[in-house]
């Protein structure tokens, strides 16, 4: 580990993963249970992101009709709301895959 690197924390529970003996990437998860939890959450987030992408695409294609059917004040409000959710889900997905929080000093985010 480089002196400037911070110690890794488990992306799920925040515990220190066991050190790896020999060559290879450092561990991201502290246990097989945390790894399975992360894999499940990664699949769930991926599916949710696909759904949000589909809604955003549909809204952008059919802006005039979307204003009539959405429970938002305008299409811009709907797009902003979905884009904000998309950004949050993407950040959580990146954190799970990399094992490092976006904010190095932050505690791990609870699972939604």
- Tens digits of per-residue pLDDT, 50-90? 999 998 888 777 776 656 666 666 777 878 888 999 999 99
> Distance of alpha carbon 79 from its chain centroid, rounded?
19
The yes-or-no verdict on residue 101 having pLDDT over 70 is no
Domain-located, residue 15: no
Residue 112 lies in a domain: no
- 15: nearest Cα among 25, 23, 7: 7
Q: 92 lies in a domain?
A: yes
What's the domain count of the chain?
1
Residue 33 lies in a domain: no
* Residue 1 pLDDT > 70: no
DSSP 103: S
User: Does pTM surpass 0.75?
Assistant: no
In a domain, 90, yes or no: yes
Asked if pLDDT for residue 43 goes beyond 70, the answer is: yes
Domain of 79 in residue numbering reads as 43-98
Q: What is the mean pLDDT of residues 6-10?
A: 76
Classify residue 106: in a domain, yes or no.
Answer: no
19: tokens are: 């050190």
pLDDT score recorded for residue 100: 59
């Amino acid at each position: 580990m480089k002196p400037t690197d911070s110690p890794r924390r488990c992306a799920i529970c925040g515990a220190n993963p066991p050190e790896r003996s020999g060559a290879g990437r450092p561990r991201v998860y502290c246990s097989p249970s945390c790894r399975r939890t992360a894999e499940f959450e990664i699949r769930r987030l991926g599916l949710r992101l696909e759904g949000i992408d589909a809604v955003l695409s549909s809204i952008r294609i059919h802006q005039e009709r979307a204003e009539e059917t959405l429970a938002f004040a305008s299409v811009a409000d709907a797009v902003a709301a979905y884009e904000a959710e998309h950004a949050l889900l993407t950040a959580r997905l990146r954190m799970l895959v990399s094992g490092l929080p976006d904010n190095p000093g932050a505690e791990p985010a609870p699972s939604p």
